[in-house]
Amino acid sequence: MASRKPDEASAATVDQLGGRLRPLLALLADGEVHSGESLGEVLGVSRAAVWKQLQKLESLGLQVASEKGRGYRLCGGLDLLDEPAIRGQLARETLPLLGPLRVFDRVDSTNARMLVALETGAGHCEVLLAEQQTAGRGRRGRTWLSPFGAGISISIGWRFSGGVQLLEGLSLAVGVALARALARFDVPDVRLKWPNDVWCRGRKLAGVLLELSGDLTDRCAVVIGIGLNMRLPAAAADTIGQPWIDLAEVRPGISRNALVAAMLDELLPMLASYPESGFAVWREAWQALDQFAGVEVCLQSAQQRWCGIERGVDASGALLLEIDGTCRAFHGGELSLRPAGSSAL
């Protein structure tokens, strides 16, 4: 969990796609061939103007194929995020827990935007999503890759009073909620890796970044940022420096909007009750999904490394490591866990 100063987050880059680009994307999203003429007719512009707009799509990293004599096709199609579609799929009990939900076309980082919102007094129960992040933030200063129209990049803002200790173990409970959302789509082999990762088939499927703002001893707020790999284009995927997996490879055809709705159905009730329940009620569920239970692992901080057998977590979410027959508890922060003998995770 990282705490950032608000001014770090204020160099805004928020960008909604201009005039005709969004409608053009919506038309091409089906991945079928559309003639320049029909696109021009629907958009009310000339074929030359359509062609100009198509060039702009390529600058988003999207691939447009031109089929001789037939028209244009968006390679692979697109499954665009849509606020009404998400709201329309939420459970009835979730709706009262949800504030404004906004989908950015392009933004630096949804977490950065949410921190700014929280600083200005807004943000509680709010949800920000992005089709593309240009400076997505990962744990331990890493960047998070979010190409246009791929993956899920979501931030949820939550205010609470009583100090940050009330949120001990929250990132682990978020992991359990995400695993439950994925289970609604029968995604197999989902596991959790302490403290913040969702794994599938031994590789990273999603990551969680919690960021705090406000008075950490009293009234404060948390941003729950989640990034999930889904339909990443091969070129972008090549740049990820760790073993990862794409949801579409495991369970193709899941709608991004349906998945976001399922995530919110699991996450919002959990957040609403967390200050009272704490991690203790999530512990058993987390341990049942623990990727490395009983496995020899190493924990790495910036300066130090500890190796031992992973023995689950305690009631506060601290990792229990058996070192030379004695169990030691390690608290989250900037620690990273990897199986003994492995280098990059």
> Catalytic amino acids?
139, 204, 338
Beta carbon nearer to ligand BTN, 74 or 209: 209
**Cα radius of gyration (the chain):** 21
Helix crossing, 170-183 with 256-277: angle to 10°?
A: 140
- Of 2, 230, 236, nearest to 137 (Cα)? 2
Quick one: which H or E segment has residue 57? helix 47-59
Rounded to whole angstroms, the Cα distance separating 143 from 108 reads 11
Note whether 318 binds ligand BTN by CB under 6 A. Answer: no
Rounded to whole angstroms, the Cα distance separating 340 from 299 reads 9
Number of residues that bind ligand BTN (CB under 6 A): 21
Taking the CB of residue 74, how many other CB atoms lie within 10 A of it? 23
Q: Is 270 helix (H, G, I), strand (E, B) or coil?
A: helix
DSSP secondary structure letter of residue 96:
G
Q: Which residue is nearest to ligand BTN (CB)?
A: 207
Contact with ligand BTN (CB under 6 A): which of 109, 213, 257, 336? 109
Note whether 154 binds ligand BTN by CB under 6 A. Answer: yes
Note whether 144 binds ligand BTN by CB under 6 A. Answer: yes
Note whether 155 binds ligand BTN by CB under 6 A. Answer: yes
- Of 173, 197, 156, 163, nearest to 277 (Cα)? 173
Note whether 308 binds ligand BTN by CB under 6 A. Answer: no
Note whether 5 binds ligand BTN by CB under 6 A. Answer: no
Note whether 153 binds ligand BTN by CB under 6 A. Answer: yes
Min dist. Cβ of residue 100 to ligand BTN (A): 17
- Choices 45-53, 225-233, 263-271, 321-329 (CB under 6 A): range interacting with ligand BTN: 225-233
Rounded to whole angstroms, the Cα distance separating 209 from 262 reads 19
- Choices 70-78, 105-113, 178-186, 323-331 (CB under 6 A): range interacting with ligand BTN: 105-113
Write the interaction track for ligand BTN spanning residues 227-246; mark x where CB under 6 A is met and - where it is not.
x-------------------
- Of 106, 125, 105, nearest to 114 (Cα)? 125
Note whether 207 binds ligand BTN by CB under 6 A. Answer: yes
Min dist. Cβ of residue 135 to ligand BTN (A): 7
Contact of 260 with 129, CB cutoff 8 Å: yes
* Binding-site ranges for ligand BTN (CB under 6 A): 109-111, 133, 136-139, 142, 144, 153-155, 196-197, 207-209, 225-227
